[in-house]
Structure 1
Amino acid sequence: MERIAESIMLSWGGKRILLAFAAGALAVLALPPFNFFAVLFISFPVLVWLLDGASGSAERGLLGRIRPAFATGWWFGFGYFVAGLWWLGNALLVDASGFAWALPLAVLGLPAILALFYGLATATAWLLWSDGIGRIAALGAAFGLIEWLRSFVLTGFPWNAMGYAAMPAPLMMQSVEFVGLFGMSALTVFVFSAPALVGTRQGAVTGLVAALVLFSAHLGYGWFALYRLDSTSAVASNAIVRIVQPAIDQSAKWDLEARERIFARLLAFSAVPPREGEPRPTHIIWPETALPFLLTENPGALSRIADMLQVGQTLVTGAVRFEDGVGGAPQRYYNTIYVIDDEGQIIGSADKAHLVPFGEYLPFENLLRRFGFTPVAETFGGFSAADRRGLLALPGGLGAVPLICYEAIFPALSSVPEARGDLLLNLTNDAWYGMTPGPYQHLRQAQLRAVETRSPLVRAANNGISAVVDTGGRIIGSLPLGEAGVFDVALPSPSDQFLLIRIRRFNFGLIIVIMVVMAVVARRSKNQRFD
């Protein structure tokens, strides 16, 4: 291993770029749908060894010295995000005549921007670089902080944060309740970088023991948390949810000629009798923007919904809502969840608060429209964001935290200020991305929100993957990607065994402080040896 490490450290030019890019791309195999997390034991040691050999020119000042480290991290990140997000281009091919020109921007441009974060992480870590365990502590702390920054800088896009790679199954998901996604990201980088110490013989025993202890604690806490959840008695929920997955092709979603067929399909799936001996559903859930029209333009729709619903049943559906402009202002459109009772009355609604840039709205709209840019979801000219977020009241005394589409990837949005919800309600439309890794990655991130909050997750997706997830992150009912149908599940109850968000944030901060202290001590020790 020492020869391999030395060869990587001494690499230069195109070989160094290729190694960094390949190491990042390889790490994607740890994510859904592959879940082969062991590849990180290759990706991160390669990154560490590349950084060992990333020395810049002292004559060019600080920027000159850190430039090679930044470039190494950027190429690593570029490989990771190209391999992990290439499927975003599929959304542009739904209307290829209007958006195919932007394919390079989605497949290469966005990864190039996201890679800047990883370049910043490696450059920051290099400032505290040493020759032992301190350097992997510096790398872990830098990645943890950068993944946190990625959750809100430029509106935020923490998709495929590195911590997800260490949580492929419920047993390995429970630690996120204790340290949060960004704490998991820091610990993931530290643990999977530990084999690099063997290649340089500096602090190998200490580092490997520390990594083994942390990994064992990760598994041990997973077992304990799941055992605690299963052994803790909870009041059973009386709600039976039916998830409807219509599998409507995105190209037909707003086709005028297909609207009646789509609506009839949704109604027919919703009215399917339950299995013999099983109770009928109390709540029927349709996916994001399931209604293929504006309710105000189809006055008979509510009547047909009422005819479909039996007494005591409720429909929860995604739809587009609009408001008339005030004082000559244009109409405003919202990506909305409606709650409709058995009399066809709208008794509740929640609008999406965190919109997708370039998908649902245009940043710097006045400027970009002059150059021909439009949102990908341009059917209604773009959406407006909700002014506030709150619990969505559902019949049966349930309070749902609404998460529309990719709102589920933001840990901060899995709770609302005024109260704790009884469930997380995630309506989405992943048909944009076809039969690609995208829907699998999206589901995994939503699963982790259930573990963090110890609340069940109810997820309805147009083309998959629809699922109901319990408070331990275990899927108790689902429909696979691309399959149309319904399934009924008794709604799990939220657990009263959960950690407050502020405790998770404190633990994340503590992890970063400990790692930085380790890095500083190691750096000072190295400097003293060479003085």
Structure 2
Amino acid sequence: MMKRWFQFFKQKAYDFRWAILSGVLVGTSYIPFPPWALIFCYAPLWVSVTDEKTSVKDAFFAGWVTQFILTLIGFHWIAYTAHEFGQIPWVLSIVALLLFCAFMHLYIPAATAIAVWMKRKFKISAGITLVMIALLHSLLERVWPAIFDWNLGYTLIWAKIPAYHLADVVGFLGLSTIILLLNAWIAYIWLQQSVLKKAFTHLGALVVVVAALVISGNIHGQGWNKFDGEVHATVIQANIGNLEKVYAEQGRGYQESITRRFTTLSQEAFVKFPNTDIFIWPETAFPDYLDQHLLGRKHTNILAEAMGAIGRPIITGAYSKDEKTDVKVDQSTYNALFLVDAQGNNLDKPYRKTELLAFGEYLPLSERFPILLKWLPFVSNFGRGHGPDVMKWKFNDDVIAWGGQVCYEGLDAAFTRGLEEKGADILVNVTNDSWFGYPFEPRQHLYMTLARAIEVRRPLIRSTNTGISTAILANGDVLQKSPLHEEWSGEFVLKYLKNAPSTFYVKMGHWDWAVYIAVLVLLALVGAVNARSRRS
């Protein structure tokens, strides 16, 4: 029996060898790996499915194998998170990881299967099929539901390849589309290897295109070296343990300890950085409510006493609650971002987190079926804010609008476009990545967040509980980065442009998907016409 199973898996491994290779290439080219196979990682899979003998079913399973392997490599931290955050035994955490790998990126096999179906139905050439796979992949990855959206475009900013500067034109999803089309081009060159002259001509053209993208990106990025304002912001990274965070959230202690740790670190930081204009604390750093109508509580008094002598405002994550007007109504608690003075007085209304984490901050379907909350009372259920929105701060003779992102709201390009449209001068992201291990997710999350600054060309400062805290200017310069899982403080000089113009991406570039759909329809029509002419 064992021998039979071994032979079965051996044969399947051989049948899907190119799909396995693509999975490895994609998985080892994404953050935090160097982008060594970025423009050819999907080529083995796509070349294999263009074979005339490949059925739609085989194309789907080949794509599924690729997505399973790349997910296992790049997002293996899901098992750690399930164990650490959900307190799930390691065996079940690994099962959760395998289920995640099985379903998380099904748009990859869907793209290959649809393209192969169209190829077989309309007798489309292999070259056009490759372009269709790339475009379908690009379109489907935009709509496929995912907790942790990612794409290959982010690798450019991680690797400091200057083409990332073009994200203010087409966004990082647009850059991902360009990378996918380059993969299709490499695959086509491989298919033309028997015609060396044609293959080398295409290879030379591809080199020219890649060089043009790099050079034009570098030149384009230099156009954003314009600043007429600056503010000195100090980030406090207190490295609070997960158990302390959970108990503080549940009101089971540690609130005073956490509050004093942040205030003490801020006092020490002010000695090092006396020019600090404002402090930035991370997500839920202040472990209590900080609304104006709830000041005077024990922990806000500790805050005021410790920070009063410093006299500097704070942007901090904390909890928020509506002022009760009806004691019979259960008021929601919000994961919020506050702009307060040294005594805790609100300088503007808090921003309440809008994009909530499924199962971590809300129970899916519970808004429609409240009974689920009674059945599963251990799942957190935060209120949902109405963002995106900005917090305005009178600074010297100016007013700075801070565009708040709480945790992975920084991954949502549409959310950040909304902040820019609301007039944000500086983006501020507060995060707690302590649940995700080391070193993959913190770096992936970091650069996916920094990417938003390039799309809208606004500086972004990121304050985290355990790292990585940093800042990026509108020109793409990434400033100092904090260590992981250590107490740390650092001052950032945030240079910004007052009344900065909107980027092309904000105004029109995010509609690039309409162009891809039009090209797909055109290719399908051409294929259908050619198929009909061959039958007549």
TM bracket, shorter-chain basis: 0.7 to 0.9
Structure 2 stretches lacking a partner, 5+ long? 1-9
Q: 2:37 aligns with which of 33, 36, 39?
A: 39
Q: 1:253 aligns with which of 233, 245, 249?
A: 245
- CA offset at residue 254 of structure 1? 3.4
Q: Does 1:502 align with 2:504?
A: no
For 2:412, the equivalent position in structure 1 comes to 410
For 2:338, the equivalent position in structure 1 comes to 338
Q: Is the 8 A contact 1:361 1:383 kept in 2?
A: yes
For 1:24, the equivalent position in structure 2 comes to 23
**TM-score, with length taken from structure 2:** 0.84
Query: RMSD between aligned alpha carbons?
Result: 3.1
1: CA distance, partners of 2:309 / 2:52: 67
2: CA distance, partners of 1:103 / 1:521: 48
For 2:165, the equivalent position in structure 1 comes to 174
Aligned positions of 1:220-299 closer than 5 A: 220-230=215-225, 233-237=226-230, 239-255=231-247, 256-274=252-270, 279-295=274-290, 296=294, 299=297
2: CA distance, partners of 1:334 / 1:226: 38
Q: 1:186 aligns with which of 159, 170, 177?
A: 177
Amino acid of the structure 1 residue aligned with 2:351: A
Amino acid of the structure 1 residue aligned with 2:361: E
1: CA distance, partners of 2:42 / 2:427: 34
Amino acid of the structure 2 residue aligned with 1:430: D
Q: Secondary structure at the match of 2:489?
A: strand
Amino acid of the structure 1 residue aligned with 2:48: L
- CA offset at residue 485 of structure 1? 0.9
Q: Secondary structure at the match of 2:287?
A: coil
Amino acid of the structure 2 residue aligned with 1:478: K
Q: Is the 8 A contact 2:168 2:456 kept in 1?
A: yes
Q: 2:299 aligns with which of 277, 301, 305?
A: 301
Question: Greater CA deviation, 256-265 or 463-472?
Answer: 256-265
2: CA distance, partners of 1:292 / 1:311: 21
Q: 1:108 aligns with which of 70, 88, 98?
A: 98
For 1:51, the equivalent position in structure 2 comes to 49
Q: Deviations over 1:472-516 (max 9, x none)?
A: 332113202222111011112045473252321244433554466
Amino acid of the structure 1 residue aligned with 2:244: A
Q: Secondary structure at the match of 1:40?
A: coil
When the two structures are aligned, how many residues end up with a matched partner? Answer: 500
Residues 204, 529 of structure 1: alpha-carbon distance in 2 compared, 3 angstrom cutoff: farther
Amino acid of the structure 2 residue aligned with 1:364: L
2: CA distance, partners of 1:123 / 1:371: 42
2: CA distance, partners of 1:103 / 1:326: 42
For 1:352, the equivalent position in structure 2 comes to 353
- Aligned identity (percent) is 23
For 1:362, the equivalent position in structure 2 comes to 363
Q: Is the 8 A contact 2:255 2:299 kept in 1?
A: no
Q: Is the 8 A contact 1:180 1:505 kept in 2?
A: yes
Residues 413, 207 of structure 1: alpha-carbon distance in 2 compared, 3 angstrom cutoff: farther
2: CA distance, partners of 1:207 / 1:527: 30
- CA offset at residue 115 of structure 1? 2.4
Q: Is the 8 A contact 1:314 1:341 kept in 2?
A: yes
For 2:209, the equivalent position in structure 1 comes to 214
Q: Secondary structure at the match of 2:93?
A: helix
Structure 1 stretches lacking a partner, 5+ long? 1-10, 57-64
Q: Does 1:197 align with 2:188?
A: yes
- CA offset at residue 89 of structure 1? 2.4
Q: 1:492 aligns with which of 495, 506, 521?
A: 495
For 1:6, the equivalent position in structure 2 comes to none
Q: Does 1:426 align with 2:429?
A: yes
Residues 451, 48 of structure 1: alpha-carbon distance in 2 compared, 3 angstrom cutoff: same
Q: Deviations over 1:195-251 (max 9, x none)?
A: 322332176356535533432232022211222123xx43122x2101111111212
Q: Is the 8 A contact 1:21 1:77 kept in 2?
A: no
- CA offset at residue 466 of structure 1? 0.5
2: CA distance, partners of 1:207 / 1:132: 15
Residues 226, 181 of structure 1: alpha-carbon distance in 2 compared, 3 angstrom cutoff: closer
For 2:474, the equivalent position in structure 1 comes to 471
Q: Is the 8 A contact 1:25 1:81 kept in 2?
A: no
For 1:66, the equivalent position in structure 2 comes to 56
2: CA distance, partners of 1:173 / 1:272: 37
**TM-score, with length taken from structure 1:** 0.84
2: CA distance, partners of 1:509 / 1:54: 30
For 1:135, the equivalent position in structure 2 comes to 129
Q: Does 1:458 align with 2:449?
A: no
- CA offset at residue 328 of structure 1? 3.1
Amino acid of the structure 1 residue aligned with 2:209: L
- CA offset at residue 439 of structure 1? 0.8
Amino acid of the structure 1 residue aligned with 2:14: K
Amino acid of the structure 2 residue aligned with 1:148: R
Amino acid of the structure 2 residue aligned with 1:269: L
Q: Deviations over 1:435-469 (max 9, x none)?
A: 23001000111111000000001100100111111
For 1:123, the equivalent position in structure 2 comes to 113
- CA offset at residue 332 of structure 1? 1.0
2: CA distance, partners of 1:339 / 1:367: 33
For 1:92, the equivalent position in structure 2 comes to 82
Q: 1:80 aligns with which of 53, 65, 70?
A: 70
Q: Is the 8 A contact 1:45 1:196 kept in 2?
A: yes
For 1:398, the equivalent position in structure 2 comes to 400
1: CA distance, partners of 2:371 / 2:178: 40
